[in-house]
Structure 1
Amino acid sequence: MQLEVWSDIVCPWCYLGKRRLDTALGQFEHADEVEVVWRSFQLDPSYPKGEPRPVPEALREKLGASPAQVAAMQGHVTALAAEEGLDYHLDRSIMANTFDAHRLTHLAREHGLGTEMHERLMRANLIEAENVDDAQTLVRLATEVGVPAEAARRVMTGDEYAQDVEADIRQARAFGANGVPFFVLDRRYGISGAQPTEAFLSALRRAHQDSAAGAR
């Protein structure tokens, strides 16, 4: 079984969804048969590169919301994340263009570290308030999960994997995904949003049953 996950590095719902998926996989009887493939997506591809800003400030401007409204929004997802063991610090998180970070995830995947790279990048942005649009930061985070520093630096100074990122985003659009997280099982079943663990587990079991039936 293949499970493709479209997400964005700076998306708090994506990290929450990943945690719930991890829990579901931990309860799934055939987890060893599941190949998880992380796909790229940008919630705001128009956000300029090289212009990091505090997320609360950016949200107030984008949504026309008051500081109290933004704090309430962030507090809601922070509380849900805490239930999954994630200690968000969204009040300090940094809005950034994520295209280069996604290019790095494709490099990491070639080294068998795609899942680890996505986890590290989301933790860096949503918990540690790192700027994931900074080349030096991205190289450091890559080496922390085992990606060779030389390869990471090469990617950051060129345009490698740009077409892969763009292809992932096009595929998400073709599937009708307008937001993330978005999960696709065997290119047959789609799950949108950070669903409860039980929903992921049910979908995994159903997809496995259908796959087994088709193999007979």
Structure 2
Amino acid sequence: MKVEIWSDVACPWCFIGKRRFEAALAEFPHRADVEVQWRSYQLDPGLPEHYDGGELEYLSSRKGLPADQVRGMFEHVAGQARGEGLHFAFDDVVVANSFTAHRLIHLAAAHGKQGEAKERLLSDHFEHGKDIGNRDYLTGVALELGIDAAEVNELFSSDKYTAEVRADISEARALGISGVPFFVIDRKYGLSGAQPAETFTAALNQAWQESHPLVMVNAADAEACGPDGCSI
């Protein structure tokens, strides 16, 4: 069974949704047979490589909301994050374009490290105030994941994985995805947003049952018990 997850590194609900999905997957009896693939998405592709201001200023300007209302949003999201063991520090968030970070995730996927890269980037962005648009930071992440320095340098000196990131975004548009996180199971079931773990559990179970239906053995009926009693 395959689960594709469209999300943005700069999306707080994507990190919360990741934790909730992982909690459901950890309890899923067939988790060893589930392939998880992270797909790229950008909430604000027009964001400059680096924004001159913090998260509060950025969202106030982008959404046209009063600063106090944005602070209230931060408190609500941070509270939800704490419920999943995450510790968001919105005052420390560095606002930056996430496109290159998505390219790095594709590079990491080529080395079987996609999940680790996604986790590291989300945590560093929302919990540790790292600059996800900074070349030195991204290089350090890649090297710590065990990716060769030559491949990392190539990422920054070429357009490698640019087409793949854009293809993910285009595919999201074709599927009608307009917000993230968005979870697609076996290209049949779609779940939008950071759903409760119980919702993910129900979706995983339903998708598994449909793809692995019970096959009745062609044999003669044998003695059994039912609502009206047992065979004699």
Asked if the contact 2:107/2:161 (under 8 Å) is kept, the reply is: yes
Greater helix share, 1 or 2?
1
CA contact under 8 A between 1:52 and 1:94: conserved in structure 2? no
Match of 1:109 in 2: 109
Residue matched to 1:211: 211
1:49 to partner: Cα distance: 1.7
TM-aligned CA deviation for residue 214 of structure 1: 9.3
Aligned to 1:121: 121
Alignment partner, residue 32 of structure 1: 32
- The Cα of 1:45 is off from its aligned counterpart by 0.4
Unaligned regions of 5+ residues in structure 2, if any? 217-232
CA offset at residue 154 of structure 1? Answer: 1.5
Count of residues paired in the alignment: 216
Report which stretch shifted further, 29-38 or 65-74.
65-74
Structure 1 gaps, min length 5 = none
- What per-residue deviation string (whole Å, max 9, x for no partner) do you get for residues 43-66 of structure 1? 000111243531111011112222
2:178 is matched with 178
Instruction: Give the distance between the partners of 2:51 and 2:15, measured in 1 at CA.
Output: 23
User: Counterpart of 2:220?
Assistant: none
Higher alpha-carbon deviation: 61-70 or 50-59: 50-59
Moved over 6 A (4+): none
Q: Distance in 1 between matches of 2:214 and 2:35?
A: 18
Tell me the equivalent position of 1:135.
135
Deviation per residue, 1:164-193 (Å, 9 max, x gap): 000000111111110100000011110000
Q: Deviations over 1:3-44 (max 9, x none)?
A: 000000010000000000110011101000000000000000
Cα deviation for residue 147 of structure 1 reads 2.4
For 1:172 and 1:53, locate their aligned partners in 2 and report how far apart those are by CA, in whole Å: 29
Percent same amino acid among aligned pairs? Answer: 44
Shift of 1:142: 1.7
Q: Is the 8 A contact 2:50 2:95 kept in 1?
A: no
Larger mean CA deviation between 79-88 and 91-100 belongs to 91-100
TM-score w.r.t. the length of structure 1 is 0.96
> In the alignment, is the contact (CA less than 8 A) between 1:74 and 1:91 conserved in 2?
no
| Change over 3 Å in CA distance of 1:99–1:139 after alignment to 2 | same
Does the 8 Å contact 1:53/1:96 carry over to 2?
no
Mapped partners of 1:200, 1:176: distance in 2: 20
Q: CA RMSD in A?
A: 1.5
- TM superposition shift of 1:68: 1.3
CA distance in structure 1 between the partners assigned to 2:154 and 2:50 by the alignment = 18
1:105 aligned partner, one-letter code:
I
The 1:215–1:122 alpha-carbon spacing in structure 2 relative to 1, beyond 3 Å, is farther
CA distance in 2, matches of 1:28, 1:138: 33
Q: Counterparts of 1:101 and 1:52 in 2: how far apart (Å)? A: 19
Corresponding residue SS for 1:213 = coil
Partner of 1:151: 151
Shift of 1:125: 0.5
Structure 2 residue 71 is matched with structure 1 residue 76: no
1:30/1:167 Cα in 2 relative to 1: closer, same or farther (>3 Å)?
Answer: same
TM-score, normalised by the number of residues in structure 2? 0.90
